[in-house]
Amino acid sequence: MIRTDSTPALRRRSRQREEARRAILDASESIVLEGGFEALSIRRLSALCGYAAPTIYHYFRDKPAIVDALLEERCRRLVLALRRVRRGRCPFADALALYRAFARFGRAHPAHYRLLTARRDPGIAPPAAFEEARALLERPLHELAASGGLRACSVETAAHAVFALLHGLVWLQSDRGDIALPPDLFDAALGAMLRGFASSPPDSSRSGARA
């Protein structure tokens, strides 16, 4: 005979597990944002979240597993924001729309953005959501290259340039409220960069000869 009264108990335990996991990840984020990933320790985490080390290890096997789960969860939210962008007009318009969405996410979720861009151990492979976000952000650059709109550099170089510009603009708008930025700064800077990618690089040998 099935006991129907077990359902509320199961739901309660499930809720308690989710609350514990949530508290551990939120406390981990606070520690990382304050002192970097190297500041995260099980002892400090235990003191902040209120759960003893054995409980923390029950949910996460070690510190790298905590970092991986934290980054995967926060980056998954970015991926969802990028996937909501309407695409299919042209590579240039798609790129502008996608990078605007990236910037909106960074401005709307400054803590998550700082976490995702914080320096981490290069020996630890990035979570799956990182690779998914990178692929989404690079897709319009590959499309620009295929259509002949990326003659100034490689896709890899363009991707790094775009991220450097986006990161700088998000940082200025999120962390430097004391600087009055023109409202068209983002579109002007990004548009100029994307149009510049379509220009053929100067002939270095000929420019050297003129010098």
Distance CA 92, CA 160 (A): 17
User: Which one is the CATH code of 11-60: 1.10.1040.10, 1.10.10.60, 1.10.357.10, 3.40.50.300?
Assistant: 1.10.10.60
Structure tokens at 34: 């304050």
Structure tokens at 94: 């798609």
Residue intervals in the chain for CATH 1.10.10.60: 11-60
Q: What is the pLDDT along the chain (211 residues), one digit of tens a residue?
A: 455 446 877 777 888 888 899 999 999 989 988 888 888 899 999 999 999 999 999 999 998 889 888 888 889 999 999 999 988 778 888 899 999 999 999 888 888 888 888 777 777 778 888 899 999 999 999 998 998 888 889 999 999 999 999 999 888 887 777 888 888 888 899 989 988 888 766 554 444 444 4
Write down the pLDDT at residue 1.
46
- The residue type found at 113 is Y
Contact 67, 28 (CB under 8 A): yes
Phi/psi of residue 191, nearest 5 degrees = -60, -45
User: Which one is the CATH code of 72-200: 2.60.40.10, 3.40.50.300, 1.10.357.10, 3.30.365.10?
Assistant: 1.10.357.10
Residue intervals in the chain for CATH 1.10.357.10: 72-200
Helix axes 91-108, 63-83, angle to 10 degrees: 130
Rg, C-alpha atoms of the chain: 22
Residue 118 neighbours by CB distance under 10 Å:
12
Distance CA 199, CA 16 (A): 57
Write down the pLDDT at residue 202.
57
Write down the pLDDT at residue 209.
43
